[in-house]
Structure 1
Amino acid sequence: MRTVLDLPGEPAVGELEDRKSVFIGAVCHVSGAAEALDFLAARRKADPKARHVCHCAIWGGDSAGPASLTGSDNAGSAHAGQGSGNLSEHMSDDGEPSGTAGKPILEVLRRNDMTDCIVTVTRYFGGILLGSGGLIRAYSSAASLALKAAKQAKITPARRLMVRVDYPRYERLKQLVEHSQGQVASEEFTDRVSLTIDLPADQQEAFTRSLTNLFNGQISPQDQGPTAFYQPL
């Protein structure tokens, strides 16, 4: 799956105009419902004169893990639930005709195999009704433009390991991590060096064998559980 790396404070933006209505799409990375709703509130505050601020947020699946959603930001027009692959979704038409805003944005995210992100589309009404078909096209296009402008990354399912080594072995361990396509998540330097390592899930077995061979079986990794990391596209 994919996500975006753009942060809530600096979202990627795409804009279009259709029959005098302006549609502004914005997308950023979120890890769950709370962050998504905070970003939605910020977009509404930034555009207080806009007629609608519609959105869809999606998270979970092959990422580090889904969060639970509680509540709805727009009673009667919001939808929250589990999508395919254990993805969680939250969307709202924000006063537009049912199914003409939130769902088209969701379909854009699904087509692009996205998770852990929110797309908002702010509409400034131009006085001309677009009809259901026109609204669907406009919201889809604005979401697509924002996503195209975003910094996208592939999500790699991973295992988090803890390895402790003496200082003379530190550099050799880091070289092995790099060779195994892993990433060092954190380091702690005390009487020994403690490394928290994220490895692609399919590399764990080979990494453990190489670690055993490199250090003559004197070092064993401690499995800390599943995680994920991002590879920019």
Structure 2
Amino acid sequence: MTHTLSTTVSVSIEIRKSRFIAYAMPVADRDAAMQELRRLREAHPGATHVCWALLAGGQSGMSDDGEPSGTAGRPILEVLRHHDLDGVLAAVVRYYGGVKLGAGGLVRAYTEAIASALQHAERVERVAQTQLTIEIDYPDEARVRRWIEQERAELAGSEYGLSVRLVLRMPATMRDSARDALRDATQGRARFVDPEGDAAD
């Protein structure tokens, strides 16, 4: 069973005049992680490095962001793996303080920074999410939106043309029962669209 984080955690530590600000945050996928990294860079325009590692199913990755190869991204990734996390972006913002740490010192600093952040992190079980795209006629929209609210599914997108197309996000285990329930709610009029855009049924 893998876990993710319930909320973003952050901690700041100082090592030989350099400031390391570690962030660990839950993310749905690589795209969401890249958006968070952009925000971090905007929030820290004066930072020397923003190093990171991501574990998100098959969309993992890491970056030393200008630090010597293997001294930042990989140590951060190893800490995430050690904590058995998934769907998590870990980033460390470094403000250089004028004292060189050397390769071994950098590995220790990045490891310590992200491990410190994770000490305060609340873990939650990671539930696999899926998307379901439904096409309905305008008169059925209110019924479907009511169902979304009641079942606490997430409305991830909507398109209005000749008909209404709604993209729902929900735990993968809900998918089959959701299709049945939405068919019932619309008296069989709901059409489901597969990710390639063809009507599935």
2:53 counterpart residue number: 57
Distance 1:44 1:92, change over 3 A: farther
2:190 counterpart residue number: 220
1:188 touches 1:195 (CA, 8 Å); kept in 2?
yes
Q: Does 1:172 align with 2:143?
A: yes
1:209 is paired with a residue whose SS is: helix
1:36 touches 1:118 (CA, 8 Å); kept in 2?
no
2:15 counterpart residue number: 18
Measure, in 2, the Cα distance between the counterparts of 1:181 and 1:33: 24
CA drift of 1:119 comes to 0.8
Distance 1:136 1:43, change over 3 A: farther
1:159 touches 1:224 (CA, 8 Å); kept in 2?
no
The two structures, once aligned, show a CA RMSD in angstroms of 4.2
1:3 touches 1:155 (CA, 8 Å); kept in 2?
no
Task: Give runs of aligned pairs for residues 119-138 of structure 1, distance below 5 A.
Answer: 119-125=91-97, 127=99, 129=101, 132=104, 134-138=105-109
Corresponding letter in the other structure for 2:94: T
Sequence identity percentage: 25
Q: Does 1:94 align with 2:66?
A: yes
Q: How many residues align?
A: 189
Measure, in 1, the Cα distance between the counterparts of 2:86 and 2:110: 17
Unpaired runs of 5+ residues, structure 1, are 7-11, 62-85, 227-233
Distance 1:102 1:191, change over 3 A: closer
2:31 counterpart residue number: 31
Unpaired runs of 5+ residues, structure 2, are 197-201
Measure, in 1, the Cα distance between the counterparts of 2:40 and 2:116: 18
2:55 touches 2:85 (CA, 8 Å); kept in 1?
no
Corresponding letter in the other structure for 2:173: D
Measure, in 1, the Cα distance between the counterparts of 2:129 and 2:152: 12
- From 133, 158, 162, the equivalent of 2:130 is 158
- From 102, 106, 110, the equivalent of 1:139 is 110
Name the structure where strand makes up a greater proportion of residues: 1
CA drift of 1:99 comes to 3.7
Task: Give runs of aligned pairs for residues 79-118 of structure 1, distance below 5 A.
Answer: 86-92=58-64, 94-96=66-68, 99-110=70-81, 111=83, 113-115=85-87, 117=89
1:94 is paired with a residue whose SS is: coil
1:207 is paired with a residue whose SS is: helix
**TM-score, normalising length from structure 2?**
0.65
Corresponding letter in the other structure for 2:51: H
2:76 touches 2:90 (CA, 8 Å); kept in 1?
no
